Amino acid sequence: MMMNRRKFLHIGFLGSLIFLTHGSDLFSVTTPKQTLALLQEDLFGYTKELNVDTYKYMNIVLHHSKISNSDKEFIKNGIKWLNEESYTMFQSTYTKLSSLQRQEVLKTISHTSWGERFIYDNLAYIMEAVFSDPIYGVSYNKGSQWLDFQSGLPRPTKAFL
Amino acid sequence: MIYDVCIIGSGAGGSPIAYELSNAGYNVVVLEKGKYYKEEDFSKDELAVSRRDRFSPDLKDEKHIINDTDSNGAITRYDGHEYSWSFWNGSMVGGSSNLMSGYFHRLKPNDFKLRSVYGKIEGANIVDWPISYSDLEPYYEKVERVIGVSGSIKKHLFLEPRSTPEFPYKKLQENGVTQWFDKACENLEYEYFATPRAVLSKNSLDRNACSYSNFCGSYGCATGAKGSARSALLQKCNAKIIPEAFVYKLTSDKKNVKEALYYDAKNVSHSIKATFFVLSAQAIESSRLLLNSKNTYFPNGLANTNQQVGKNLIFSAGGSGEGTFNFKNLSKQEQSQLMQTGLFFNRSLQNDYEFKKNNKIYKGGTTDFLFEHQNIISRVLSEVYNDDGEIIWGDALKQKIHNTLTTSRKLSFEVFNDWLPTDKCFVSVDPIEKDKYGVNVGVINLYGHPHDLMVAEHLAQTALNVLKEMKAENIHYSISSNPPPNLVAGGCRFGEDPKQSVLDKNCKAHDLNNLYVSDASFMPSGGSVPYTWTIYANAFRVADTLLSVLKSRV
């Protein structure tokens, strides 16, 4: 089956390989998709109960012209550094750690400037997904119901992102 | 074809001229860099409007260079793209007036004679305006009628003289918490009043009344109630509007502008010829265009014989603060009032528009109070740090978000005072950096005078007293010299002396017979209020001047 260009690009970023090193040694290879999905669940797992498709949102946002290349690059680097920190602390990639170990890694990186920003950026993307208008096909107002929040009217009739 | 008038920029500075002259039968064309959005295009899509800056150019395509001078005189250069530092605000037909909150205040009579009344301040280029409040008052009144200003006059010490007793539109509906505010001010013996708003409280002017959508500032208005230059003026006249037209150069001979050259969306160059040209591209961009329009007659830039173009750039000085009201301290009725959404807060203080300190009289300013913006994503994200300043996530974050957003609400205040004009704050053009059109980008040279901070601090303390009296908690504020990109003026100040100003008192360039500048560039000082009402009023005044000139040519 022929894959359209957009779909290819989506897989291109989140499915691309990240080479993980410790010192000068290559210890593993992963993809942004694997790590990002678990990381975002660790940061705000409530999205599952709210029926929010954060993976779909990341696919949208990471291919939008309004997200700068440096922001995209930072996500990719952050995933690499998160895994490298996981290896330093527990000799394994983030996705293979226990829940408690992953929390330890997050606490450690949260005290670094890159780690704090990486966590903040991910939380920002998660919250954008949770409170996005249903027109984006990612969330269906359960976030607004959770906080008893009334969205502004009129709602968008066309997705901007 | 030769138009009677070509206007560059379609915001509050250009649109009154398009409206008046085209309705008087003249052939007017408006060139606007942004797209043409109308009411039906506006929604409350926070992702698009606030998170992804739908109405601002991408900084990778169009940026500024910022040279920031600190209090020690050290200059730090910032690339606007690299540092995500944007000075764009509403790139579309109608300009930033589409996105304003419409907090409308007039300047006071003393704002027109700042130097005479309050004296010289070391390091600041303070001058009196070449016109007085009484010259502009009829136009302030005209804006109330034509743009539509809602409010309720309440006498106070600094209420400016008015030719009419009341606003043409009753004040907008208010949230019940305003009663707490009023009581607190009365206890403190502070004079307060309902903030006038450029938002229609009833259907009128062939526009709909406010729908109390809960999302006003930063968003385009879907009902047309907000008095944007587009809805109130451009959609009510026959001026030809060309959107997505970026004017990159004005050509001239020794005494007259000949044509405006612009690129369309496909980067194809076009020429517009006209008898008169009106520049109103926003203060920074108007200076940039003049500086980029060098020619044989004007080697330093158009209308820049005395090298005044770009000088004395100003912003609104001040800062902001907030306090929180928590359910635990409130009755059921008060909780219900607090969480009432949609209705406006709309309260202002001007009792310190002039104040005395150490036996000296100082020019003060205005403080507007408003609820924290309803944007849910930004409110949620303000909860990701705990009281110790550490970032949190997981269940701790979930509980904090839910608790804060369902059992408390923040009341904010914004301080507006004069940003004193100085030699260190000006617009220039970068000799190397270019935008997507291949045109040299503007350089914003920033400097905030220490006097501005002193005044803002005084005003903030008054605001804090009100929040304390209201029993708000977690009160904090920030005063700084950070320039608000939506409150920028100067660069082509008007005046009697061509050596000290770019424009004459009618906003015509001293150097040229047919070039007017009608955005906030003309302002030698900004008063201590948001500028939009004054920009509108002055543009109507310039329109009258141009009408007289055009009529006299027949």
List pLDDT tens digits, range B407-439: 999 999 999 999 999 999 999 999 999 999 999
Using CB atoms, pick whichever of A67, A120, A152 lies closest to residue B374: A152
A37 is a domain residue:
yes
In this prediction the pTM is 0.95
**Predicted local confidence at residue B319, as pLDDT:** 95
Please indicate whether, in this complex, the C-beta atoms of A150 and B214 are within 8 angstroms of each other: yes
H/E segment holding residue B432: strand B426-434
Please indicate whether, in this complex, the C-beta atoms of B394 and A110 are within 8 angstroms of each other: no
Q: How confident is the model at residue B219 (pLDDT cuts 50, 70, 90)?
A: very high
CA–CA separation, A63 vs B31, rounded Å? 32
Please indicate whether, in this complex, the C-beta atoms of A120 and B401 are within 8 angstroms of each other: no
At A36-45, the pLDDT tens digits run 999 999 999 9
**Predicted local confidence at residue B462, as pLDDT:** 97
Contact residues, chain A to chain B, C-beta under 8 Å: 42-46, 64-68, 103, 106, 110, 116, 119-120, 123-124, 127-128, 130-133, 135-136, 143-144, 146-157, 160-161
Give A109 to chain B, closest Cα distance, Å. 11
Rounded average pLDDT over B310-331:
97
Tokens of B34: 């942004």
Nearest CA in chain A to B46: A132
Q: How confident is the model at residue B214 (pLDDT cuts 50, 70, 90)?
A: confident
Please indicate whether, in this complex, the C-beta atoms of B394 and A45 are within 8 angstroms of each other: yes
- Is the pLDDT score of B327 beyond 70? yes
Please indicate whether, in this complex, the C-beta atoms of B393 and A119 are within 8 angstroms of each other: yes
By CB atoms closer than 10 A (0-12, 13-18, 19+), residue B94 is: buried
Nearest CA in chain B to A127: B377
Rounded average pLDDT over A31-39:
89
Nearest CA in chain B to A122: B393
Contacts of A148 in chain B (CB under 8 A): 406
Contacts of B42 in chain A (CB under 8 A): 154
Backbone φ and ψ for B308, nearest 5 degrees, come out as -105, -15
Please indicate whether, in this complex, the C-beta atoms of B390 and A148 are within 8 angstroms of each other: no
B35 in A contact zone (CB under 8 Å): no
Q: Which candidate in A112, A118, A146, A160 is best for mutational testing of the B interface (most B CBs within 10 A)? A: A160
Q: How confident is the model at residue A3 (pLDDT cuts 50, 70, 90)?
A: very low
Contacts of A144 in chain B (CB under 8 A): 376
Rounded average pLDDT over B35-43:
96
- Is the pLDDT score of A1 beyond 70? no
Please indicate whether, in this complex, the C-beta atoms of B47 and A147 are within 8 angstroms of each other: no
Number of domains in chain A: 1
**Predicted local confidence at residue A73, as pLDDT:** 87
At B516-538, the pLDDT tens digits run 999 999 999 999 999 999 999 99
A153 is a domain residue:
no
Please indicate whether, in this complex, the C-beta atoms of A152 and B44 are within 8 angstroms of each other: yes
Q: H helices then E strands: how many in chain A?
A: 7, 2
B343 in A contact zone (CB under 8 Å): no
State the average pLDDT for chain B: 97
At B243-280, the pLDDT tens digits run 999 999 999 999 999 999 999 999 999 999 999 999 99
Which residues on adjacent β-strands are paired with residue B67?
B77, B445
In chain B the domains, ranked by start, together with CATH numbers, are 2-68+87-150+177-196+220-552 (3.50.50.60)
H/E segment holding residue B369: strand B365-371
Using CB atoms, pick whichever of A43, A67, A130 lies closest to residue B393: A43
Give A10 to chain B, closest Cα distance, Å. 20
Please indicate whether, in this complex, the C-beta atoms of B405 and A132 are within 8 angstroms of each other: no
A120 is a domain residue:
yes
Using CB atoms, pick whichever of B60, B214, B380 lies closest to residue A127: B380
Please indicate whether, in this complex, the C-beta atoms of A152 and B213 are within 8 angstroms of each other: yes
Nearest CA in chain B to A157: B43
- Is the pLDDT score of B301 beyond 50? yes
Domain that holds residue A110: 5-19+28-146
**Predicted local confidence at residue A34, as pLDDT:** 86
**Predicted local confidence at residue B352, as pLDDT:** 95
Nearest CA in chain B to A154: B43
Using CB atoms, pick whichever of B48, B215, B394 lies closest to residue A42: B394
Please indicate whether, in this complex, the C-beta atoms of A128 and B51 are within 8 angstroms of each other: yes
Q: How confident is the model at residue A12 (pLDDT cuts 50, 70, 90)?
A: low
Please indicate whether, in this complex, the C-beta atoms of A44 and B393 are within 8 angstroms of each other: yes
Please indicate whether, in this complex, the C-beta atoms of B45 and A156 are within 8 angstroms of each other: yes
Pairing of strands B347-349, B365-371: antiparallel
Please indicate whether, in this complex, the C-beta atoms of A44 and B398 are within 8 angstroms of each other: yes
Please indicate whether, in this complex, the C-beta atoms of A152 and B219 are within 8 angstroms of each other: yes
Contacts of A72 in chain B (CB under 8 A): none
A76 is a domain residue:
yes
Contacts of B54 in chain A (CB under 8 A): 160
Contacts of A124 in chain B (CB under 8 A): 377, 381
Beta-carbon count within 10 A of B138 CB: 13
Cα separation values, A104 from A40, B530, B541, Å = 15, 49, 66
Residue B343: DSSP 8-state: S
Peptide bond connecting A32 to the previous residue in cis, omega within 30 degrees of 0: no
A57 is a domain residue:
yes
At A53-100, the pLDDT tens digits run 998 999 888 888 888 888 888 998 999 999 999 999 999 999 999 999
Residue A44: DSSP 8-state: H
Residue B50: DSSP 8-state: I
A161 is a domain residue:
no
- Is the pLDDT score of A8 beyond 70? no
Beta-carbon count within 10 A of B299 CB: 9
Of all residues in chain B, what percent carry a pLDDT higher than 90?
99
CA–CA separation, B6 vs B276, rounded Å? 6
Contacts of B45 in chain A (CB under 8 A): 133, 135, 155-156, 160
Cα separation values, B540 from B20, B86, B512, B532, Å = 8, 29, 21, 12
State the average pLDDT for chain A: 87
Q: Concatenated DSSP letters for A71-83?
A: HHHHHHHHHHHHH
At B85-121, the pLDDT tens digits run 999 999 999 999 999 999 999 999 999 999 999 999 9
Sheet holding B75-79, edge to edge: B75-79, B65-69, B440-446, B426-434
A121 is a domain residue:
yes
- Is the pLDDT score of B548 beyond 70? yes
